[in-house]
Structure 1
């Protein structure tokens, strides 16, 4: 009986944490696309490389209404744009089904809140921009 209660409590807490991550992301729904960069540590070479690539063209980020977050260790950092809420690293990892210290992973979330694209390696921004530019909402902006 006690074991069942403990397991139910853990499941409930994990569910609430994932729900919290979704509600934090919902603050940006219909206003911004969100790119989340996950890495095991803040000094991860893949994360450093991706930050440099993305932030070298801030105009492209702005044109595509992007908010860019990095989640490294227990730290969530806004790299570009206003995230509108504080985010929990653990909740974001759970929400997207990643382990406690995931390898590099980039996840693009559309304005509708759905995952639109993922990459498990640093990418050239033009690849992500092509995905965004093909989205109906983006085409209607131009």
Structure 2
């Protein structure tokens, strides 16, 4: 009987350590919550009024359905306005973590495509052509599977 209790205690400790580890990982990686759920298009701009951000937002408004069809969320990071990914606020600490991770200074412009696996797929220093981003996503194995499993609702 004592052996069963020891095994049960070991399992409980393992599950507790795993849960704490997962919470710590999510705190250390602001993108962890989106992993396996969304692709991210992260836009880093010096100021919210940056014309490159405006151009990206205008383009995305024109292709909103295609953007959503690919499970994409837009992240905007700037020093003079609250940073966000989709509808979620990103703290200045989390923004600093991301800037450090991708080597982006506060006065730089950058666009980063993050796959559902949480990995960077592309990093650009200019406004991307959205069709090229969509093409890159559509060639990803996970997206190929999504295409075969669901109908295109944007036609």
RMSD over aligned Cα, in angstroms?
2.0
Judge conservation of contact 1:21–1:91 (CA < 8 Å) in 2. Answer: no
Q: Which has the larger radius of gyration?
A: 2
Which of the residues 133, 137, 145 maps onto 1:132? 137
- Residues 58-94 of structure 1 deviation map (CA, whole Å, 9 limit, x = unaligned): 101111000111111153134xx444x6343322211
Task: Tell me the TM-score normalized by structure 1.
Answer: 0.75
- How far is the alpha carbon of 1:51 from its aligned partner? 1.3
Q: Which residue of 2 aligns with 1:46?
A: 52
Which of the residues 71, 90, 102 maps onto 1:86? 90
**1:118/1:130 CA distance change after superposition, 3 Å:** same
**1:21/1:108 CA distance change after superposition, 3 Å:** farther
* Secondary structure at the counterpart of residue 43 of structure 1: coil
- How far is the alpha carbon of 1:37 from its aligned partner? 0.5
* Secondary structure at the counterpart of residue 35 of structure 1: strand
Task: Tell me the TM-score normalized by structure 2.
Answer: 0.70
Q: Which residue of 1 aligns with 2:116?
A: 111
- Larger helix share, 1 or 2: 2
- How far is the alpha carbon of 1:100 from its aligned partner? 2.5
The unaligned stretches of length 5 or more in structure 2 are: 1-24, 148-155
